[in-house]
Chains A and B, each alone.
Chain A
């Protein structure tokens, strides 16, 4: 979720009210924004992905102002018609078919709000536009371009302009291969034969979509007063909402909105469209799900607090809100306006029979026996690595590796549990012996009989570590466990390179192999830097459980 910095002074100026830090810290979370911390004039907050309209000082202030009751209700936006056109090439239909555009005039750009609008653009790109995959935003100074404007699909060699912050003209191919932004977004274009771009009536390239603007026609400075904005992408809904978020932010900075006509092959659409969308509300449903008894007046009041309108049993949703798709979303708006902490709480009388999972119950029983035998339980990770699981154990497994682990220590799933305990012993050399420990958890192996193609088996590993441990001592532990379970196992000589040859047994019950036990090989102990003998067993509780039930 994106963290943003809100300018506290700007916020208070926009809201028209002063707040102490404490008040802000208390009120902001109740609006549905994670309050991180306040440092001087900086308010660090985390915006949830469902509210991209809060990603700017202006958008945030608008919601806050309404929420605290300073100016509630649906905001009506005045849109003048610019009578200008943007003509969309039909060859874009399989590339990035849609664009939504607007003109904003008489805005006073200064350092602060240029930074602000660039930050909003960047945060929208990352979150709502899914790293520009779904949509991308371009802003151009109006006096540098000539209408009508063309949104085109052209062969990459034919697109040639001087990109922002570059010294000379480059072709689209050079942009993708040589510039930092180009390299970053190359994957979004390289599968296409034609690349999307904006060209004006002076035949100047304005931008390569969704990568970069032109230095000549696409650079907003402090001298800029009027801008042309385009949001282009693959989903009509996304680009319209995205444009609305930017446009309303610019209005809150003092701008005036002018619409344009977007001319597709078969249709003409006027953008931006800031008229609220309507959603029918069934008040019974809302009351039932929230456990409230609110009437229409209350509904209107609560929705107003959230910046929404209410008319004829319908909620009116402002064009910059992107997250309301179902009545339940309206229920949440009402709940937030009502105040989460104002809800009475109650536990309903729903009669259901409690039941512990059978294997979990079995786990507890086995643990109880081991505690009786004076063992200490160790909590271990399922994540491990080849070195611990195989190399240092003098063993080999076909481990299930992870695609993208951040650290080498935890880049595979464990195939067995004894290494987890040996590692524990290794870390506890400074502690008193004997160290009698056990751990319970899952081991993983490839097996396409399962839904996930991975078999997960519950295992118990037990280790005895002290100067005088041997095969007899570890077998006594396993014996007493079986005695308690009323089972008679068969012990067969076995081999496993992690154990001392001739001192390792396979344990069978009803013909099924369920455990390995023995003395750990000195080679393994040395590799783990251990100077105390260890005897261990690993028992398959999944199989044991099956046998018992």
Chain B
């Protein structure tokens, strides 16, 4: 059994174990064996795991001079320099002391405070300072603080009660002293360890690594290979990895492709025309105001599409909303607030029916970022254009999508969007949280929208669904910002998207 144990020892352990008969402390062992301290420490831990020794950690608090402390040791403490100014004069103005003793304002004020507490100075109006008799004594006498500073560095345990009190005062002063923790490690052999450390077999050579050299020369024949502890944990390595959000997007993309949808892409900056006007959102609609939508400062405007579409959109707006539609307002550039402008553009270019399209892309809102809000996030959009499409199909597609996303229960309630009618909001039941989550909106595009873009009235089912919330829940992330302002460790260690 002992032999087997020895065959498993790493070369570090093998080097450390014999010297433990005489040495116990980490640093000394490192010196003796020629190993680095960290290597000795690892050997200690491995040996402890094998019940060969016990590690004792001893923590000492060492009081050291800090930056200012080191400089004061040479130049003298500020209060000492303050006192020295009185070697030639009886009374001095604070300003004069500052100059004579080369003190900063901060040091001057500190010195006055300290000496006042010691009753060593007397201050008259106009900051005229003289020494008391106690102060005069101090000129030629070392203060307790000075005595203490000279002793440093020193183990905190060795301080007397009085010294500890003085130390408290010194701690409060800026950069004077600091306390560091010094760890020392010693080991104690167990009975097993005592026996093993005497074993001659420790001196035998075990092969640590099989080398190409050994294979070439055949020296491996008869060699003894060190046995590994195959049960012990090994350091992590990280695979290359797609961001969790990308994994989710890829999965969602697959769902739409499986359902026969074609992908749409388009610009992130778009004209108000495509983001709002083409979607029957009146020009004075609150959603178009500054608090929701991010507008581009320069260039301010983009170009409008052909006159035919413009006329149609103008007509529908003026008829439906009863105001004068302004093409200039429609030119205004915005960061798209939803992916629906892509659907609008697609409809205006549509050549063949029926058709089904999807997109997954970034959208923007004028929000201050917090744990549940982003100014930039991801939406997935879908449209189905078919003469026979109806409300039941809309509900059908949404149920199917969310089922594939792992949500068995889906609920709908009436919603409102200027460009859809009927409109609905989609809720899914989160079983882990036992509550309904709102995940997006949908509807049938209004005839006014379809007619302007497509030239005729045809049912168009449309939806826009948020993605981040699903991803956030899947990865149990509390703060949504983490999906964009990544902690590498979290991405590296994240599970892959498996739905």
Contacts and interface: CB of A to CB of B under 8 A. Distances in A.
Interface string A78-103: 00000000000000000000000000
B253 interface: yes
A133 B284 contact: yes
A438 to B, nearest CB: 9
Given A340-B413, A375-B240, A289 B390 contact: yes
A376 B237 CA distance: 13
Nearest to A420: B484
B393 interface: yes
A381 B415 contact: no
Contact of A453 (B241, B246, B303, B421): B303
Contacts of B285: 49
Contacts of B270: 452
Interface residues of A, number: 90
A179 interface: no
Contacts of A456: 267-269
A325 interface: yes
Given A347-B393, A354-B258, A428-B487, A410 B375 contact: yes
B241 A352 contact: no
B245 A382 contact: no
B448 interface: yes
Contacts of B27: none
B199 interface: no
B250 to A, nearest CB: 7
A377 interface: yes
B75 interface: no
B260 A379 contact: no
Q: From DSSP, what is the main secondary structure of chain B's interface residues?
A: mixed
Interface in A326-359: 326, 328-329, 331-332, 335-336, 340-341, 343-348, 350-357, 359
Interface residues of B, number: 93
Given A133-B284, A451-B302, A383 B376 contact: yes
A352 B459 contact: no
A344 B392 CA distance: 6
B421 A49 contact: no
Contact of A407 (B364, B369, B483): B369
Interface in B14-43: none
Q: Which of B384, B386, B421 has the most CB of A within 10 A?
A: B421
Given A340-B414, A343-B395, A348-B393, 19 more contacts: A235-B323, A238-B322, A326-B446, A340-B395, A340-B424, A344-B392, A348-B386, A354-B256, A354-B259, A374-B240, A377-B243, A378-B486, A382-B376, A400-B297, A401-B298, A403-B295, A427-B485, A453-B299, A456-B269
24 contacts: A288-B459, A326-B320, A335-B414, A340-B413, A340-B414, A347-B396, A347-B400, A348-B389, A350-B389, A352-B356, A357-B265, A376-B491, A377-B243, A382-B268, A400-B297, A400-B298, A400-B299, A427-B486, A428-B487, A428-B489, A452-B269, A452-B270, A454-B267, A456-B268
Interface of A: 1, 29-32, 34, 48-51, 127, 130, 133-134, 235, 237-238, 288-291, 325-326, 328-329, 331-332, 335-336, 340-341, 343-348, 350-357, 359-360, 364, 367, 370-383, 400-407, 410, 413, 424, 427-428, 431-432, 435, 437, 442, 444, 446, 448, 450-454, 456
